[in-house]
Amino acid sequence: SQTIHQWPATLVQPVGSPLSLECTVEGTSNPNLYWYRQAAGRGLQLLFYSVGIGQISSEVPQNLSASRPQDRQFILSSKKLLLSDSGFYLCACERTGQGEETQYFGPGTRLLVL
């Protein structure tokens, strides 16, 4: 089974600073990868997904961007953080192939923008 790593676990950043969150996956090849954000006390919102290297789809207009430089690496970035970017960021991995349509989640990164 796959293992999903997220780094860092916790981050406190000032408004206007850049951001880079990393997600790496082990135990599977060519997965679909996802970034979700969970605001405090809320459900999960899909931000980006990727079906392959260099292929990024954005679900909502925002201050963030994503990249997939390697098959099992997914990065969430921002050039200038906003207060509203605070939240819990979760990376998810889905194996490709019929019958594999289940997303498994990493441990998450808690981001606080001050």
Of 11, 56, 73, 105, which one interacts with other proteins (CB under 8 A)?
105
Token pair for 35 = 């970034």
First to last CA, the chain: 38
Given the rule CB under 8 A, which of 14-22, 64-72, 74-82, 90-98 is the region that contacts other proteins? 90-98
Proportion of the chain in helix, strand, coil states, percent, rounded to 5: 5, 55, 40
Can residue 31 be called a binding residue for other proteins (CB under 8 A)? no
Task: Kindly list the residues in this chain that would bind other proteins in the complex (CB under 8 A).
Answer: 32, 34, 42-44, 46, 49, 51, 57, 59, 88, 90, 92, 98, 101-108, 110
